[in-house]
């Protein structure tokens, strides 16, 4: 092949790789245009259905790409030209990252489905955040160099910011300016970015490289400065943590604990939190595995450090969960616990002998996402019906709408990690990882947290089955939302019975 | 030809069949109940008579057969039966007494609507007694004794409406349970220490006979003491006699069968395992002392009692004391015969007492007097029974007594003196009771005109008369064949009992007459005392037993309260943990809410510092 | 009946109640009668299968014909072993393996019988019957599955499924403050199952590793199969070639002595929470006292059986040396528990509490049987498990029907019921006597064998059990006599005796109890098949290996 053809084919080849991303960009532009030029009225569901169909197309493209890349021809073709990727965006071959991306697209699809009829009266939902978040996460999943990582993260935060502005800020006019969630969120994400960049600068200072592969090559000769390298990792980990944690804190946990209970969490916010946590864990995993900084510098205490962070996050979330009376707060703290769970495979994967791969992280993420979305949808419906976000809204649900109660039971069991639901195998898989890595103390902490958290999660069941509520009206749910819930519940049960499916 | 011996296992099964049929009948027809119950006992009597006769044929050898109950690879637990001269005689004795009691009960319990239930319990009791006399190993013996104690428990509590019957049943069952726990422990010990886990009496006989030392000395003493505990419980000896004392709650036929045939099996255990006792002298010593103490104490109590049933019960206890004494002395066969005779006489006396109870309406001797004129039959049967019990010369009781005395005189003069004292007391309380009831002036209205009391049914009088005839006949049976029964039982035993010295016989007659005279004197004083104020003869030692029982109950209550406190503490543990978690939760939530930027920055710096310290400690810094 | 042998009998046994759950769910609540008969049918089928299994068990060799094995979870693990070994990848495999042998078959029969009868007695329940049948069938399916699971993960799935079903049953239908009882259940049984899950996963990673020849290259497999773990723990698998062996050494350090002891103790506590081990028994006491009749039947009879069975199969058989070292401790716990339960039972004023503490004290004999550590002790344990589950099921049936009539289970308020309820009181008396251990009823052989076995190894401790036997008689009699004998309260005279639907289960259970009491060989021969020389192999394996 002559040079130009090679260049041409490479150009063709790279564009083919990036079709899903380009489609998402296109979606973003159309939506922005829609909002700017009032192509459709704000309240209309048109934007929702448009996004929905568009996401299906994107999913198909990504799936085709994953399969295409998987074929031998493509692999040897890609190897032939060295690390594929244009401007730091590696191509998603047949590996876990692309699986993760597909999962997130499915998540986005379900979220849009659930929020189609949400808040009909305050029609402010314009789905701008969906494409931006997806693009951001896409970059985060498999960055080939630090800059891409940074760009992805900022894109994701932008999406979150836009969501907050659109949905939550209006409700909080009565709060003083600094108290408004938007400002609190942006300040916190700012701190996160600062820490992240500070860590990156250390790495850049040490190795003079930004590309991960190059860093890996150059890392071995900075043996004497191992400690600085370790400092860089910790800083970057904290930066990512703060960035991701900013969102849940910003949205849920307002200062006036008891007074205003009408905190509205939308499916969108939930999506961003869950996807964000998943992406962070994935990027940390990717970062540490690619640069193999820890193995090379022999900093084995790094494992203990990360495991400690994961364990403390879980313990903190469980203990805080026990006192919650508000449904929203329970979900908030549950997300904190589950993000701790997601961190565990990351921390373990560093352990020398452990054979675990990305699989447990991916599997747990899928299960966590499904359960969270389903639960949010139901609780949102309850909040709609009763006007207050308290748990007692669920009382007596078993005879008001039995099938909804059954779905909620599946979600609760999945959170608690009890059999027949996906949550069980996710827990078993992660516990297996920590058992193989002989991190027995972590196993103990996880067992204790699961026990206490199960008691708290079963609060839902106590309300639904063992208490009789005041109003007897059965809960109406828009068709799309109930469809979404059914999808989540059935998927969870199927994952519970045959976990192998996802693994293939 | 052992045709009947092989079929011997049918003997206990017949009453068991009767029990099952009666249970199925429930509270239904009365007559059917009576016929089935009595039929079962009569059939087993017939079969045991056949077996007994077959034993007389020459060349009759002991027959033994068993099936394995539980088999675990090398070890098998077997249950079986053995037919020897002794067991054949016992079979006849038990089944004869049970038939007569069944007939008596038909009359005595006629109006009780739960008659069939009563008969079912009686046939269960007969089944367990027959099976006990046939049992060939310690485990089988334990099994059937437990069944006997269950049927006793049911019989004691038959008139369940009375709370005293309920308490009696409970106390009896728990005490018997204690005794059988001792027996169970002995069985376990024997199981593990006997060569190839043999439990049957024959094996025990050979192993312990020659004191071959196959089993260590202390183990034998332990086994012997446990067996003694079991026997003491079963034969209602000194420490554990309280349960028999509330046999009065049971209906008269039941207490007759219990005191007669039931107590026979109590002594059976000792007689079957005499070899173990012989090889543990310390335990034999203890058995002797227990026997003496029980005999004397019970005899004195009998002398003081006012209730006719109580007097008879204490006389049973004291006679059993004598039997245990003689068994411990080594006169196994004569003591078993003595028990058989005692069983027949005691059943006669208790049935006669039941007879009296039915007519006079009360069991209190104080309220009776001068009944001989109105109830000659009861008076005569009572007299025959009493004299046979005390061992009047022509009757068999006397000859067996002499052989026991001969045995005692060889051992140690103290035992002989003790037995003589007991005889003296027995004669005393027997005659006192006789004179108080049948002689002198009637002391209460009821005793005066017994006619209006319901006429005792013919059935009751038939069985009492038959019993009295048997007692008298057995006396001449002894005279005509001399000491044939001992030879037959012992097989080859040389005339050890032959040397009954004339002197002892004369002493026995003298003691008998002295006892009767004392009884007459006591009756005189009691009669006059009773006329003056009714209840002088209070039961002295009832208080002692009662407070012993309540002491045990109190200790259990205290232990229970202490444990309940511990239980409370244990229950509180999870609550405590929950409180701790909640407190932590409050802290965590409040901290994360207030966390401003400054707080976050601080936390991160703190985290970094800690990590650095760890790194330095691990030398990676 | 020949066609039955072809069917996958074992899976069917727990699938029929599961199918029953769905059927109950789908039938509309209006047709109460249809739903009820469906539920009863689905509940009684496993009993039929179990009986068939039991009958044909002796001909087969150790029930091998009925074992089933299907792959459930096969996950390739990119085995990035640092040393870069020759083989390409590792596999994590959990299989759906069910099998039955002498140890589990009798308990399976008992489980099928008790749960079947529990569903039959549930007919009298009025409150939310549909959900009750749903969860009760769920409990039955998981308990039956539990006794046949041969894969550690499957075992945990069944235990936790039972936990969930019990949570609902106790929470919704528990009468005094069901919710608190359910929360205690969650704490107690939840902790137990999580402990077991942790221990089993550690076992899968260490002992469950085996090297297989897949095609030409070697493949390391983390498997949860019971056989694999047993091989890994007990005797080094000499069949593997030397090269494979050193790879295995590289992959995982063999479990050291200390770790094995810790694992065994964790299992002891984990299973102890189910078969009440003394300090962890409070939740089970309240669960039994608070549960509705049919649930109490199952909880007091089968949960301890499941715990003891699990401890035997996964604890004692996998860690024989540790078990032997801890045997005296277990015996002491048994004695203490026996006396503790008996003394507390002596002072209870409510029948339900009394039965709860009675089950705590009877489990003392189980600990003694296990501590005996020989064949007789094992036979005694299994017999006692079977006997106590039947006796307690019968006792709870009686207490349930008494409560239905007299509206109270306080012993002081009931008296002299024999007059108005002769049948029920007769059954009550028989069940009580069987619990006390009267020969001719099921209680006696169990106690006899356990003590016989224990006497061989620890005679003095066996002797210490004697006061327990007398105390059992004391507290049981106190309750029996107080309720059955004595003067009758006029309020109670109007009671009607047991209807057929109540009498039938009672008679069936009593028949089984008498059968076991008179012919214990009915049970001991089956158990005998699979444990002949088991202990000697275990210990010999240790001495030899």
The CA distance from B47 to B8, in Å, is 8
Average pLDDT (A132-142) is: 80
Cα diameter, chain A: 78
| pLDDT recorded at residue B31 | 80
Contacts of A323 (CB under 8 A, 6+ apart): B582, B585, B586, B589
pLDDT at C393 over 90: yes
Q: For residue A330, what is the nearest residue in chain B, using CA coordinates?
A: B589
Q: For residue C383, what is the nearest residue in chain B, using CA coordinates?
A: B70
Q: For residue C528, what is the nearest residue in chain B, using CA coordinates?
A: B72
Subunit contact A418:C164, Cβ cutoff 8 A: yes
Residues of B in contact with C442 (CB under 8 A): none
Q: Which of C418, C445, C455 sits opposite B192 (nearest CB)?
A: C455
Q: Hey, what are A397's tokens?
A: 């649900």
CA of residue A88 relative to chain centroid, distance: 22
The CA distance from A470 to A388, in Å, is 14
Q: Hey, what are C261's tokens?
A: 């002891």
Residues of B in contact with A321 (CB under 8 A): 585
Q: How far is CA B295 from CA A378, B233, B264, B308, C348, in A?
A: 85, 15, 16, 18, 40
CB A267 within 8 A of CB A376: yes
Average pLDDT of chain C?
82
Closest CA to B188 of B155, B213, B222, B234: B222
**More confidently predicted of A187 and A256:** A187
Domain definitions of chain B by residue range: 1-136, 251-536, 550-618
CB B604 within 8 A of CB A238: yes
pLDDT at A72 over 60: no
**More confidently predicted of C164 and A376:** C164
Report the neighbours of A using a cutoff of 3 or more CB pairs below 8 angstroms. Answer: B, C
pLDDT at B499 over 70: no
Domain definitions of chain C by residue range: 324-539
Average pLDDT (C70-92) is: 59
Report the SS3 class of residue C81.
coil
The CA distance from B534 to B438, in Å, is 18
CB C27 within 8 A of CB C45: no
Residue holding tokens 């394995």?
B68
Subunit contact A255:B593, Cβ cutoff 8 A: yes
pLDDT at A57 over 80: yes
pLDDT at B58 over 60: yes
CA of residue C30 relative to chain centroid, distance: 35
Average pLDDT of chain B?
78
Torsion of Cα atoms, A231 then A233 then A239 then A243, to 10°: -160
Vertex A312, ends A307 and A313: CA angle to 5°? 100
Is the minimum CB–CB distance between B579 and chain A shorter than 8 Å? Answer: no
The CA distance from C277 to C291, in Å, is 20
pLDDT at A82 over 50: no
Q: Hey, what are B579's tokens?
A: 């409180």
Contacts of A464 (CB under 8 A, 6+ apart): A394, A395, A396, A397, A398, A405, A408, A409
| pLDDT recorded at residue C398 | 92
Residues of C in contact with B561 (CB under 8 A): 347
B244-298 residue pLDDT tens: 887 888 888 888 888 888 888 778 888 888 888 888 888 888 888 888 888 888 8
Average pLDDT (B347-374) is: 78
Is the minimum CB–CB distance between B602 and chain A shorter than 8 Å? Answer: no
pLDDT at C477 over 60: yes
pLDDT at C105 over 90: no
Closest CA to C193 of C171, C170, C172, C164: C164
The CA distance from A324 to B581, in Å, is 13
The CA distance from C185 to C139, in Å, is 14
The CA distance from C98 to C9, in Å, is 10
Instruction: Give me the helix-helix angle, C443-457 and C351-372, nearest 10°.
Output: 40
The CA distance from B422 to B29, in Å, is 47
| pLDDT recorded at residue A166 | 67
Q: For residue A238, what is the nearest residue in chain B, using CA coordinates?
A: B604
Residues of B in contact with A187 (CB under 8 A): 597
Least-confidence region, from A68-72, A266-270, B349-353, C406-410: A68-72
What is the count of structural domains for chain A? 2
**More confidently predicted of B213 and A251:** B213
Subunit contact C197:A440, Cβ cutoff 8 A: no
Subunit contact A234:B589, Cβ cutoff 8 A: no
**More confidently predicted of B431 and A468:** B431
Least-confidence region, from B295-309, C127-141, C435-449: B295-309
Q: Which of B26, B177, B560 sits opposite C470 (nearest CB)?
A: B177
pLDDT at A353 over 50: no
Q: What pLDDT band is residue C238 in, cutting at 50, 70 and 90?
A: very low
Average pLDDT (A55-82) is: 63
The CA distance from A472 to A401, in Å, is 10
Q: Is there a single domain that holds both residue A291 and residue A384?
A: no
Q: Is there a single domain that holds both residue A183 and residue A77?
A: yes
A293-321 residue pLDDT tens: 666 666 666 677 778 878 888 888 888 88
The CA distance from A397 to A377, in Å, is 15
The CA distance from B376 to B381, in Å, is 9
Q: Is there a single domain that holds both residue A268 and residue A369?
A: no
Closest CA to C36 of C115, C131, C130: C130
pLDDT at B318 over 80: yes
Instruction: Give me the helix-helix angle, C9-26 and C104-121, nearest 10°.
Output: 20
| pLDDT recorded at residue C61 | 58
The CA distance from C169 to C125, in Å, is 12
Closest CA to C496 of C429, C405, C397: C405
Report the SS3 class of residue C539.
helix
Count of positions (residues) in chain B: 621
Q: What pLDDT band is residue A90 in, cutting at 50, 70 and 90?
A: low
Closest CA to C484 of A345, B599, A440, B157: B157
Contacts of C499 (CB under 8 A, 6+ apart): none
Q: For residue B616, what is the nearest residue in chain A, using CA coordinates?
A: A227
Report the SS3 class of residue B540.
coil
Residues of C in contact with B226 (CB under 8 A): none
The CA distance from C158 to C303, in Å, is 12
| pLDDT recorded at residue C113 | 92
Q: Hey, what are B580's tokens?
A: 């701790």
Average pLDDT (C315-339) is: 88
The CA distance from B558 to C179, in Å, is 33
Subunit contact B75:C376, Cβ cutoff 8 A: yes
Q: Which domain holds residue A462?
A: 324-504
Q: Is there a single domain that holds both residue A400 and residue A291?
A: no
- Contact residues, chain A to chain C, C-beta under 8 Å: 352-353, 355-357, 359, 398, 413, 418-420, 424-425, 428, 431-432, 435-436, 440, 443-444, 447, 450-451, 454-455, 458, 461-462, 465-466, 498-500, 503
| pLDDT recorded at residue B439 | 76
Q: For residue C532, what is the nearest residue in chain B, using CA coordinates?
A: B73
Q: Is there a single domain that holds both residue A282 and residue A340?
A: no
Subunit contact B592:A316, Cβ cutoff 8 A: yes
CB B478 within 8 A of CB B396: yes
Average pLDDT of chain A?
74
Q: How far is CA C383 from CA B73, C378, C461, in A?
A: 16, 8, 20
Vertex B309, ends B308 and B314: CA angle to 5°? 100
Q: What pLDDT band is residue B493 in, cutting at 50, 70 and 90?
A: very low
Count of positions (residues) in chain C: 545
Q: Which of B588, B597, B604 sits opposite A238 (nearest CB)?
A: B604
| pLDDT recorded at residue B38 | 87
Residue holding tokens 């890609």?
A78
| pLDDT recorded at residue C305 | 92
Average pLDDT (B378-391) is: 82
The CA distance from C402 to C416, in Å, is 13
Least-confidence region, from B18-32, B396-410, C208-222: C208-222
| pLDDT recorded at residue C141 | 92
Q: Is C471 exposed, middle or buried (0-12, 13-18, 19+ CB in 10 A)?
A: buried
Bridge partners, C225 (sequence order): C151
| pLDDT recorded at residue C432 | 92
CA distance A160 to chain B (A): 19
Report the SS3 class of residue B305.
coil
A277-292 residue pLDDT tens: 888 888 887 777 777 6
Q: Is there a single domain that holds both residue A289 and residue A158?
A: yes
Q: What pLDDT band is residue A254 in, cutting at 50, 70 and 90?
A: very low
Average pLDDT (C385-414) is: 89
Dihedral (CA of A348, A354, A360, A361) sign: positive
Bridge partners, C91 (sequence order): C76, C221
Is the minimum CB–CB distance between C196 and chain A shorter than 8 Å? Answer: no
Q: For residue B557, what is the nearest residue in chain C, using CA coordinates?
A: C347
Subunit contact C473:B192, Cβ cutoff 8 A: no
Report the SS3 class of residue A91.
coil
Closest CA to A199 of A317, A293, A269, A327: A293
pLDDT at A392 over 70: yes
**More confidently predicted of C109 and A242:** C109
Subunit contact C463:B574, Cβ cutoff 8 A: no
B548-583 residue pLDDT tens: 667 777 787 888 888 888 888 877 777 888 888 888
Residues of B in contact with A249 (CB under 8 A): 592, 595
Average pLDDT (C105-132) is: 87
Residue holding tokens 């790279």?
A14
Q: Which of B70, B174, B185 sits opposite C521 (nearest CB)?
A: B70
| pLDDT recorded at residue A217 | 74
| pLDDT recorded at residue C158 | 92
The CA distance from A9 to B536, in Å, is 129
pLDDT at B446 over 60: no
CB A289 within 8 A of CB A361: no
Would strands B75-83 and B63-72 be described as parallel, antiparallel, or unpaired? antiparallel
| pLDDT recorded at residue C395 | 93
Rg (CA), chain A: 23
Closest CA to B391 of B509, B311, B516: B509
CB A293 within 8 A of CB A219: yes
Q: What pLDDT band is residue A121 in, cutting at 50, 70 and 90?
A: very low
Q: Which of residues 89-128 of C touch A (CB under 8 A)?
A: 90, 92
Closest CA to B460 of B38, B30, B101: B101
Average pLDDT (B455-467) is: 77
| pLDDT recorded at residue A91 | 56
Bridge partners, B200 (sequence order): B137
Residues of C in contact with A96 (CB under 8 A): none
C148-158 residue pLDDT tens: 888 888 899 99
Average pLDDT (B307-322) is: 87
Bridge partners, A493 (sequence order): none
Subunit contact C171:A466, Cβ cutoff 8 A: yes
| pLDDT recorded at residue A253 | 47
Q: For residue C187, what is the nearest residue in chain A, using CA coordinates?
A: A451
Q: What pLDDT band is residue A257 in, cutting at 50, 70 and 90?
A: very low
Q: Is there a single domain that holds both residue A289 and residue A358?
A: no
């Amino acid at each position: 092949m002559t040079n130009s053809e090679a260049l041409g084919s490479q150009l063709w080849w790279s564009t083919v790789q990036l079709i899903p991303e380009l489609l998402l960009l296109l979606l973003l532009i159309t939506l922005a245009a829609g909002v700017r030029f009032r192509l459709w009225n704000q309240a209309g569901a048109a934007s929702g259905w448009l996004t929905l169909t568009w996401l299906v197309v994107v999913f198909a493209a990504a799936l085709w790409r994953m399969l295409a890349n998987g074929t031998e021809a493509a692999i040897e073709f890609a190897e032939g030209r060295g690390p594929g990727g244009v401007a730091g965006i590696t191509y998603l071959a047949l590996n876990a990252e692309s699986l993760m991306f597909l999962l997130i697209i499915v998540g986005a699809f379900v979220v849009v489905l659930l929020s189609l009829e949400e808040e009909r009266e305050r029609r402010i939902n314009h789905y701008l955040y969906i494409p931006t978040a997806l693009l951001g996460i896409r970059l985060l999943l498999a960055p080939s160099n630090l800059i891409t990582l940074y760009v992805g993260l900022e894109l994701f935060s932008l999406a979150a910011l836009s969501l907050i502005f659109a949905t939550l800020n209006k409700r909080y006019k009565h709060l003083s300016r600094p108290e408004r969630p938007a400002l609190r969120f942006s300040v916190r994400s700012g701190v996160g970015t600062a820490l992240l960049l500070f860590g990156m600068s250390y790495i850049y200072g040490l190795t003079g490289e930004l590309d991960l592969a190059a860093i890996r090559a150059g890392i071995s000769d900075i043996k004497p400065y191992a400690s600085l390298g370790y400092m860089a990792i910790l800083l970057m980990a904290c930066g990512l943590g703060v960035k991701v944690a900013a969102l849940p804190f910003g949205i849920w946990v307002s200062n006036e604990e008891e007074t205003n209970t009408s905190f509205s969490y939308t499916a969108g916010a939930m999506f961003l939190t869950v996807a964000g946590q998943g992406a962070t864990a994935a990027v940390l995993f990717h970062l540490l595995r690619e640069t193999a900084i820890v193995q090379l510098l022999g900093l084995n205490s790094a494992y203990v450090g990360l495991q400690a962070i994961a364990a403390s996050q879980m313990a903190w979330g469980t203990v805080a969960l026990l006192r919650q009376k508000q449904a929203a707060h329970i979900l908030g703290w549950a997300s904190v616990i589950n993000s701790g769970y997601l961190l565990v495979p990351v921390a373990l994967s560093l352990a020398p002998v452990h054979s675990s791969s990305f699989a447990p992280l991916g599997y747990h993420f899928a299960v966590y996402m499904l359960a969270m979305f389903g639960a949010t949808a139901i609780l949102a419906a309850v909040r709609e019906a009763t006007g207050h976000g308290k748990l007692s809204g669920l009382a007596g649900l078993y005879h008001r709408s039995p099938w909804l109660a059954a779905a909620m039971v599946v979600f609760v069991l999945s959170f608690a990690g009890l059999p027949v639901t996906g949550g069980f195998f996710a827990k078993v898989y992660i516990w297996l990882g920590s058992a193989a890595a002989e991190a027995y103390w972590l196993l103990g902490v996880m067992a204790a947290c699961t026990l206490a958290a199960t008691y708290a999660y079963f609060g839902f069941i106590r309300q639904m089955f063992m208490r009789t509520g005041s109003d007897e009206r059965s809960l109406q749910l828009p068709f799309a939302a109930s469809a979404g819930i059914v999808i989540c519940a059935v998927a969870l049960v199927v994952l519970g019975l045959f976990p192998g499916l996802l693994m293939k | 030809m052992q045709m009947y011996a092989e079929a011997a296992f049918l003997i206990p099964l017949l009453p068991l069949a009767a029990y099952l049929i009666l249970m199925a009948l429930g509270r239904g027809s009365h007559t059917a109940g009576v016929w089935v119950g009595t039929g079962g006992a009569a059939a087993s009597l017939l079969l045991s008579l056949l077996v007994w006769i077959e034993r007389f044929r020459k060349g009759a050898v002991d027959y033994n057969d068993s099936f394995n109950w539980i088999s675990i690879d090398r070890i098998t637990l077997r249950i079986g039966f053995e037919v020897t001269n002794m067991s054949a005689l016992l079979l006849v004795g038990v089944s004869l007494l049970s038939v007569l009691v069944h007939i008596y009960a038909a009359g005595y319990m006629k109006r009780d609507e739960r008659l069939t239930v009563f008969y079912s319990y009686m046939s269960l009791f007969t089944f367990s007694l027959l099976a006990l006399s046939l049992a060939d190993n310690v485990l089988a013996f334990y099994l059937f004794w437990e069944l006997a104690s269950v049927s006793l428990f049911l019989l004691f509590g038959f008139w369940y409406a009375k709370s005293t019957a309920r308490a009696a049943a409970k106390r009896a069952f728990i005490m018997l349970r204690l005794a059988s726990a001792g027996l169970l422990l002995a069985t376990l010990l024997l199981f593990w220490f006997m060569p190839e886990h043999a439990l049957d009496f024959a094996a025990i006989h050979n192993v312990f006979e020659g004191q071959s030392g196959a089993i260590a000395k202390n183990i034998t003493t332990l086994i012997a003491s446990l067996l003694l505990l079991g026997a003491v419980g079963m034969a209602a000896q000194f420490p554990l006699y309280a349960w028999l004392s509330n046999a009065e709650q049971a209906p008269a036929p039941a207490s007759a069968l219990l005191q007669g045939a039931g107590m026979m099996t109590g002594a059976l255990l000792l007689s079957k395992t005499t070899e173990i006792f012989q090889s543990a002298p310390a335990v034999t010593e203890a058995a002797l002392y227990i026997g003496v103490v029980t005999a004397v104490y019970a005899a004195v109590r009998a002398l003081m009692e006012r209730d006719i049933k109580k007097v008879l019960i204490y006389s049973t206890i004291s006679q059993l004391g004598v039997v245990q004494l003689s068994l411990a002395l080594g006169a196994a066969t004569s003591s078993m015969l003595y028990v058989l005779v005692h069983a027949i006489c005691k059943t006669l006396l208790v049935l006669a007492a039941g007879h009296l109870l039915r007519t006079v309406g009360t069991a209190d001797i104080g309220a009776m007097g001068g009944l001989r004129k109105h109830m000659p039959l009861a008076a005569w049967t009572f007299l025959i029974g009493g004299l046979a019990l005390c061992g009047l010369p022509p009757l068999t009781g006397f000859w067996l007594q002499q052989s026991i005395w001969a045995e005692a005189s060889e051992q140690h003069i103290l035992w002989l003196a003790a037995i003589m004292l007991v005889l003296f007391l027995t004669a005393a309380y027997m005659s006192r009771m006789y004179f108080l009831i049948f002689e002198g002036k009637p002391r209460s209205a009821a005793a005066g005109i017994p006619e209006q009391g319901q006429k005792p049914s013919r059935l009751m009088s038939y069985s009492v008369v038959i019993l009295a005839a048997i007692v008298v006949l057995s006396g001449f049976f002894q005279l005509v064949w001399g000491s044939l029964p001992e030879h037959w039982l012992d097989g080859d035993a040389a005339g050890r009992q032959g040397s009954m010295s004339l002197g002892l016989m004369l002493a026995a007659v003298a003691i008998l007459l002295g006892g009767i005279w004392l009884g007459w004197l006591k009756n005189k004083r009691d009669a006059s005392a009773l006329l003056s104020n009714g209840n002088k003869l209070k039961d002295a030692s009832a208080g002692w037993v009662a407070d012993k029982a309540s002491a045990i109950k109190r200790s259990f209550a205290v232990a229970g309260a202490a444990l309940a406190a511990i239980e409370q503490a244990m229950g509180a543990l999870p609550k405590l943990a929950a409180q701790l978690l909640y407190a932590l939760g409050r802290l965590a939530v409040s901290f994360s809410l207030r966390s401003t930027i400054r707080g976050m920055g601080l936390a991160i710096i703190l985290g970094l510092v800690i990590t650095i310290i760890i790194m330095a400690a691990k030398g990676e810094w | 009946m020949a066609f039955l042998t072809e069917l996958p009998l074992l899976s069917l046994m727990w699938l029929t109640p599961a199918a029953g759950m769905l059927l109950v769910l789908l039938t509309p609540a209006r047709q109460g009668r249809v739903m009820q008969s469906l539920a009863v049918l689905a509940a009684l089928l496993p009993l039929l299968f179990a009986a068939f299994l039991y009958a044909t068990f002796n001909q087969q060799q150790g029930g091998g014909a009925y074992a089933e094995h299907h792959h459930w979870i096969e996950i390739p693990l990119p085995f990035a072993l640092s040393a870069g070994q020759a083989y390409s990848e590792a596999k994590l495999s959990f299989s759906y393996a069910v099998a039955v042998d002498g140890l589990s078959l009798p308990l399976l029969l008992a489980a099928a019988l008790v749960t079947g009868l529990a569903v039959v007695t549930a007919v009298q329940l009025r409150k939310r019957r549909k959900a009750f049948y749903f969860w009760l069938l769920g409990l039955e399916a998981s308990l039956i599955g539990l006794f046949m699971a041969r894969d550690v993960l499957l075992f945990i799935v069944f235990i936790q499924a039972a936990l969930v079903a019990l949570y609902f049953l106790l929470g919704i239908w528990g009468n005094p403050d069901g919710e608190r009882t359910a929360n205690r259940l969650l704490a107690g049984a939840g902790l137990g199952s999580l402990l077991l899950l942790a221990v089993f996963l550690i076992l899968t990673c260490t002992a469950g590793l085996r090297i297989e020849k897949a095609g030409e290259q070697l493949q390391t497999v983390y498997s949860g199969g019971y056989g694999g773990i047993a091989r890994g723990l007990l005797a080094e698998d000499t069949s593997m070639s030397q090269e494979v062996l050193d790879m295995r050494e590289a992959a995982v350090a063999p479990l050291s002595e200390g770790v094995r002891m810790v694992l065994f103790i964790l299992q002891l506590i984990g299973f102890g929470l189910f078969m009440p081990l003394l300090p962890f028994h409070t939740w089970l006491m309240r669960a039994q006292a608070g549960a509705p009749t049919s649930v109490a039947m199952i909880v007091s009879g089968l949960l301890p059986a499941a715990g003891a069975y699990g401890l035997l199969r996964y604890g004692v058989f996998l860690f024989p040396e540790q078990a032997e070292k801890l045997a005296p401790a277990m015996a002491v716990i048994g004695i203490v528990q026996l006396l503790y339960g008996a003394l507390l039972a002596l002072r209870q004023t409510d029948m339900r509490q009394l039965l709860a503490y009675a089950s705590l004290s009877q489990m003392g004999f189980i600990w003694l049987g296990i501590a005996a550590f020989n064949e007789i002790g094992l036979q005694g344990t299994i017999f006692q498990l079977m006997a106590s589950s039947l006796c307690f099921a019968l006792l709870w049936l009686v207490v349930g029907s008494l409560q239905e009539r007299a509206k109270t289970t306080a012993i002081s308020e009931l008296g002299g019921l024999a007059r108005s309820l002769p049948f029920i009181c007769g059954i009550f008396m028989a069940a009580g006597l069987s619990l006390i251990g009267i020969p001719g009823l099921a209680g006696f052989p169990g106690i006899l064998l356990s003590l016989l076995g224990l006497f061989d190894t620890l005679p003095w401790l066996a002797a210490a059990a004697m006061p327990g036997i007398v105390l059992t008689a004391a507290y049981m009699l106190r309750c029996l006599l107080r309720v059955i004998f004595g003067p009758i309260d006029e309020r109670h005279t109007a009671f009607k005796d047991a209807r057929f639907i109540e009498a039938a289960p009672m008679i069936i259970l009593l028949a089984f109890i008498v059968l076991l009491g008179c012919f214990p060989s009915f049970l001991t021969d089956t158990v005998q098949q699979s444990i002949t020389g088991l202990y000697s192999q275990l210990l010999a394996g240790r001495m030899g290996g």
